[in-house]
Amino acid sequence: STSTSSSATRADTKTTTPTTTTTTTTTATTTKNTSVKAVETVKTTKPIAKRFYEVLALLMQELTSHNTATREVAKTLIFLISELSTHPVQKLCEAFHSSLQNMLQIKRIRHVPREYQTGFFDAVTFLIDQAILPITSDILSLISFAHMICKKFIENPVDHLRGNNPRHSMQLQLSCVNLLKVALRKIEYKDPKDLLNNIIKIFFKYLDSSSEKMVKLAMGGLSQFISKNRLPKDLLQESL
In angstroms, what CA-CA distances link 5 with 9, 11, 36, 232?
6, 10, 47, 104
Q: How far apart are CA 41 and CA 37, in angstroms?
A: 6
Q: Which of 193, 184, 196 is nearest to 221 (CA)?
A: 184
Quick one: pLDDT at residue 227? Answer: 85
Closest CA to 226 of 194, 174, 181: 181
Question: What H or E segment, with its residue span, contains residue 235?
Answer: helix 233-239
Output the tens digit of pLDDT for each of the chain's 240 residues: 444 444 444 444 444 444 444 444 444 444 344 333 433 333 334 455 677 888 999 999 999 999 999 999 999 999 999 998 888 999 889 889 999 988 888 888 888 888 889 999 999 999 999 999 998 889 999 999 999 999 988 887 665 556 567 788 889 999 999 999 999 888 876 666 788 888 999 999 998 888 899 999 999 998 988 888 787 777 777 777
SS percent in the chain: helix, strand, coil, step 5: 80, 0, 20
Give the type of residue at 53: Y
Rounded to a whole number of angstroms, the distance between the first and last alpha carbons of the chain is 114
- Model pTM? 0.73
pLDDT attached to residue 189: 62
Residue 86 is given by DSSP the state T
**What one-letter code names the amino acid at 3?**
S
